[in-house]
Chain A
Amino acid sequence: MGLFDLFKKKKESERAEDEQRMDRGLDKTRENLLGRMARMLVGKSKVDADVLDELESVLIEADLGVETTVRVIRKLEENVARDPYLKPSELEGHMRKAVLELMEPKSEEPNTVPPTGLKVILVVGVNGVGKTTTIGKLGLRFQQQGLKVMLAAADTFRAAAIDQLKVWADRSGVDFVAQSMGSDPAAVAHEALQRALSSESDVLLIDTAGRLHNKVNLMQELSKIRRVLEKLLPGAPHEVLLVLDASTGQNALEQARQFTAATQVTGLVLTKLDGTAKGGVVVAIASEFQLPVRFVGLGEGIEDLQVFDAQIFVNSLFKTV
């Protein structure tokens, strides 16, 4: 069983609860778009241009981007064309399906994670997206699974980044490795991996400094961290998580492209979904780069992390204020 399989299954009751938390940002004035559209369609036998226009605005406003929005609408139009007597009540399902299909990985992701032994997870992303916070939350999660966890502070650049991670390590009582500020992040990663191996840890989570993906030298630094890990433990890092902020717009696509080129990203974490931002750009990213979303961040507390659920996510896209 792979590392992330541990979290995949979800009971219906839990799902409802998750969904509620994700809706927190939208308060009472929220109205379900699908409901509204269904009303617009009463007495009509087919989906008309007004409805498609409305759908377009909702998808764009959820940050899906022009291209992906057009793809979703095309799919929907195809379905509608095929079935001229499509009932408004059936539209809802079609729309969800159109988005979900785009997000589905084409093939089952190869799980390179070994069944036993140390799993190394490298966490990357631009500045301020929530890398360190996510690692803090993941640390607790894995520890609660009965795993022996170590956090490594390879952000040696941002002021007090090491202290910040240390606080998280202390909160969940997991192991922590750091060097001094300004030291070579690859050296930190190397030392941490050695220590994780010798202490027989199950999971090593490596925090890195935020960097904008267009800074060539900083991206090379990440590639170097990756190489150093690989050399010491073939197969490592087993996961490279790219953290994306839900409020980020279309630039997230470029982030995914560049970070994947530098570090072979294997999965995404979408943070700050407790706000009003929808994070719809991950639909485009998931479909273009075949990257699964692993987790979502829903707050600043150590428990505010959930395994990604595509159904809940897609439902939240169609909820408008």
Chain B
Amino acid sequence: MFEKLSERLEGAFHLLKGRGQITEINVAETLKEVRRALVEADVSYKVAKDFVDRVKEQALGQKVITSLQPGQLMIKIVRDEMARMMGGQAAELNLKGQPAIVLVAGLQGSGKTTFSGKLASFLKRKRSQKVLLAACDVYRPAAIDQLKILGEQVGVEVFSVPGSTDPVHIATQAVAHAKAKGFSTLIVDTAGRLAVDAEMMDEIVRLHRELKPSETLFVVDSMTGQDAVNTAKAFHDAIAYDGVVLTKLDGDTRGGAALSIRSVVDKPIKFVGTGEKSDALDVFYPDRMADRILGMGDVVSLVERAQEQFDAEQARALSKKIATNKFGFDDFLAQIQQIKKMGSMKDLMGMIPGVGKAVKDLDISDDAFKHIEAMIHSMTPQERQNPSLINGSRRKRIAAGSGTGINEVNKLIKQFEDMSKMMKKMQGGGAKQLASMMGRR
């Protein structure tokens, strides 16, 4: 998490205090930490090494501004450089041609078919294209059916040649069909393949040569580890793709592959996949990705907002209570009120890396707290101070008093216990844990 990296950086930088400038000696330890964080985030070993060397050059000699901690300055240099590397040229699709042809390629299970469906929907809705999908995965069982169902869901025609086992044939037929029927864009979904499978790589090269797509996209799973560099390079050597699609970013992976790929092939990431539904497609934001890889997410702004709202004095008193096991339901209630003040629940959780889009499906309504408040209000002051008092008969009374059920009361008490435990653990940080706890309802 952000806390961890920045803490480490502060530690590594204590040397620097009072010197006013970043020098070779005081930067070495810090850069080791950055490199480690990158590798832990699945950035390729070599890419991480090169990256850190470049950052070092930039950092050396920089004046430390008094208002910034040296660690913060270093983080700023690191994340700016990372965002710069992953950013660059505009990421629009090239839709030239009649029809414009988009070829989709990648490893098995990376998410090509799902992406093809999403892209079809996106181009239809947002770019007013008349889209045709071509089903060229003749290998995986039911892959063609899968695309057909997705096409139906988004209202896009799917072209296939029943019985054909030749993707090149299917694709060229699809082009003819698109021309005859006036489709403006053709998206060609292909089978997953390994870069070391010579026969299959030859097939995608032939497809690419025949179709001359205006846009070739390489789809890669954001959870990919060190192998990302090999695969990205091998596919690029074969079909010189124009852009990268990073899938499954609704997970909690740090996504270092994004940086690795960008540094071995210098092609922009044009889309990211953020869910299984057909509209879960987003454009790529380099600065957000940099934060995510560094484990910072929008936690920075979350922390800032939280700081504005939380009274520092109150926070200190609270952490003391947690530490001494005196945290009770009154404090819990106060916490809920604080959270409500900070903004809507979803809003808040949306800023946490890896949680963002996921909360969309979670349906956390802001009056989720109403029942909880009612139950706490039905407790006696003693019970609130010392929740272990709350036995079976007391639970019944609280349920009746608050107009809820015994199950709900049990759940609240369980949640409270979990929360107290967790708060003890996270004292001072760990927004992610808070989120996962809140999500468990």
Contacts and interface: CB of A to CB of B under 8 A. Distances in A.
Given A214-B354, A275-B194, A251 B42 contact: yes
A214 B256 CA distance: 18
A276 B231 contact: yes
B42 to A, nearest CB: 4
A164 interface: yes
B139 interface: yes
A147 interface: no
Contacts of B227: 63, 246-247, 275-278
Contacts of B7: none
Given A65-B40, A164-B140, 7 more contacts: A160-B145, A167-B141, A245-B223, A248-B223, A274-B196, A275-B107, A300-B140
- Which 9 A-B residue pairings sit nearest by Cβ, starting from the closest? A249-B225, A128-B109, A249-B42, A167-B141, A159-B149, A277-B227, A160-B145, A164-B142, A160-B146
Contact of A215 (B111, B253, B254, B358): B358
B109 A127 contact: yes
Interface stretch (A1-9, A35-43, A54-62, A80-88): A54-62
Q: Is the interface of A mostly helix, strand, loop or mixed?
A: loop
Interface residues on B, range: 35 or more
B224 A248 contact: yes
Contacts of B44: 61
A168 B196 contact: no
B141 A61 contact: no
Nearest to A57: B45
Interface residues on A, range: 35 or more
27 contacts: A25-B196, A26-B196, A57-B46, A63-B227, A65-B40, A127-B109, A128-B110, A128-B111, A130-B108, A160-B145, A160-B149, A164-B140, A164-B143, A166-B142, A167-B141, A212-B248, A214-B358, A247-B221, A249-B226, A249-B253, A250-B40, A274-B196, A275-B195, A277-B225, A277-B226, A281-B225, A300-B108
Interface in A116-158: 126-130, 136, 157-158
A151 to B, nearest CB: 12
B362 A216 contact: yes
Given A61-B45, A164-B141, A168-B141, A247 B225 contact: yes
A74 interface: no
B149 A63 contact: no
A26 B234 CA distance: 13
Contacts of B109: 127-130, 245, 272
A213 interface: yes
A254 interface: yes
Contacts of A25: 194, 196
A28 B143 CA distance: 33
A216 B355 CA distance: 11
A107 interface: no
